[in-house]
């Protein structure tokens, strides 16, 4: 990227290598340490412009685009680094790595990126651990409470290839969920119910089934049955926000430990059994390597808490 800076405003010309990157991710890398919420605000107010025009944070950059970046004051607090313990914890989660990408078994409770009161997510922590790798990016996202397989790309070309596989539904994503209730005699169900995002007065984002929402399709299969619960496998066809959680609640079998869409009574019962987190785990990813053509299949083991609650139920 060529950078022509004035005293107050910078104009950055995007090189072809960065084509396809979202504007918010580009700004987060360029304005190191600046909170995501602040970046969203200056884009929304039109202080950031692309080719002299207003765009939103989801805009994907093209080679040759000129990005106007306003002056941003960074405080010492914004230049802090993640705690060593956080870095050490994340370093132990790597399931696979090559020159194109890495796959992590993301822990529950760790956001994939900073923002909303979180200083450091997975991507910020990785970048602090590997400053020599300039192009680390999230290829997709997982909810903060959800654990499991997460792809981080190490090159712009890899990010574009992974996104292309996702657009063509060529990445198989399977999740494990412990749900409260039963589907009767059914062993598998298909939920094709459109989802729409809504913001409550508190500012909390909720998703609900709505005819005016975006199409969302999930396949579910029972793996094990217990007295009042089931261990199910979820296969995503679309990838909407909170899709599995909302679809399972819609089916009358909410995920245990889900404080947003779940059942308070079920959550209380299972807290007494030792479950203090959402039981949703992205346990499998499968796709053909976009560079080598080799079939890739990744499985992320359950953490100790999830294994322990299953052991209690099986006893």
81 band by pLDDT with thresholds 50, 70 and 90:
low
Q: Is pLDDT at 3 greater than 60 in this prediction? A: no
What confidence tens digit (pLDDT) does each residue in 58-74 have? 898 888 899 999 988 75
Q: Is position 143 annotated as part of the catalytic site?
A: yes
Domains assigned to the chain: 2-70 (3.10.290.10), 82-165 (3.30.2350.10), 169-314 (3.30.2350.10)
Out of 34-38, 157-161, 194-198, give the one with best mean pLDDT: 194-198
What confidence tens digit (pLDDT) does each residue in 165-202 have? 988 889 999 999 999 999 999 999 999 999 998 867 66
- pLDDT value of residue 97: 94
Statement: the pTM of the whole predicted model exceeds 0.85: no
Q: Is pLDDT at 77 greater than 50 in this prediction? A: no
Write down the catalytic residue from 24, 143, 258, 263.
143
- pLDDT value of residue 103: 96
What confidence tens digit (pLDDT) does each residue in 9-29 have? 889 898 776 777 889 888 887
- pLDDT value of residue 146: 96
Are 103 and 150 in contact by the 8 Å Cβ rule? The answer is: yes
What proportion of the chain, given as a percentage, has pLDDT over 70? 91
What proportion of the chain, given as a percentage, has pLDDT over 90? 57
Average pLDDT for residues 247-259, to the nearest whole number?
A: 97
């Amino acid at each position: 990227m060529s950078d022509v800076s004035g005293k107050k405003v910078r104009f950055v010309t995007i090189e072809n290598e960065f084509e396809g990157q979202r504007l918010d991710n580009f700004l987060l890398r360029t304005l190191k340490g600046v909170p995501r919420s602040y970046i969203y605000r200056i884009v929304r107010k039109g202080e950031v412009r692309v080719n002299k025009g207003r765009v939103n944070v989801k805009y994907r950059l093209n080679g040759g685009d000129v990005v106007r970046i306003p002056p941003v004051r960074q405080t010492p607090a914004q230049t802090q680094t993640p705690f060593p313990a956080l870095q050490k914890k994340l370093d132990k989660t790597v399931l696979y790595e090559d020159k194109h990408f890495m796959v992590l078994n993301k822990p529950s409770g760790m956001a994939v990126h900073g923002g909303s009161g979180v200083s450091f997510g997975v991507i910020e922590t990785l970048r602090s651990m590997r400053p020599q790798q300039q192009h680390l990016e999230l290829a997709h996202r997982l909810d903060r409470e959800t654990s499991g397989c997460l792809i981080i790309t190490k090159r712009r070309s890899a990010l574009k290839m992974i996104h292309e596989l996702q657009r063509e539904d060529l990445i198989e994503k399977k999740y494990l969920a412990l749900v409260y209730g039963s589907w009767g005699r059914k062993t598998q169900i298909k939920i094709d119910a459109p989802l729409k995002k809504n913001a409550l007065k508190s500012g909390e984002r909720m998703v609900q089934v709505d005819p005016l929402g975006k199409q969302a399709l999930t396949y579910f299969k029972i793996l094990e049955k217990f007295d009042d619960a089931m261990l199910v496998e979820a296969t995503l066809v679309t990838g909407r926000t909170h899709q599995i959680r909302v679809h399972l609640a819609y089916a009358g079998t909410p995920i245990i430990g889900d404080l947003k869409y779940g059942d308070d009574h079920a959550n209380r019962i299972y807290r007494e059994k030792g479950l203090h987190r959402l039981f949703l785990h992205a346990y499998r990813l499968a796709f053909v390597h976009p560079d080598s053509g080799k079939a890739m299949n990744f499985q992320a083991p359950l953490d100790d808490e999830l294994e322990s609650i299953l052991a209690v139920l099986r006893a």
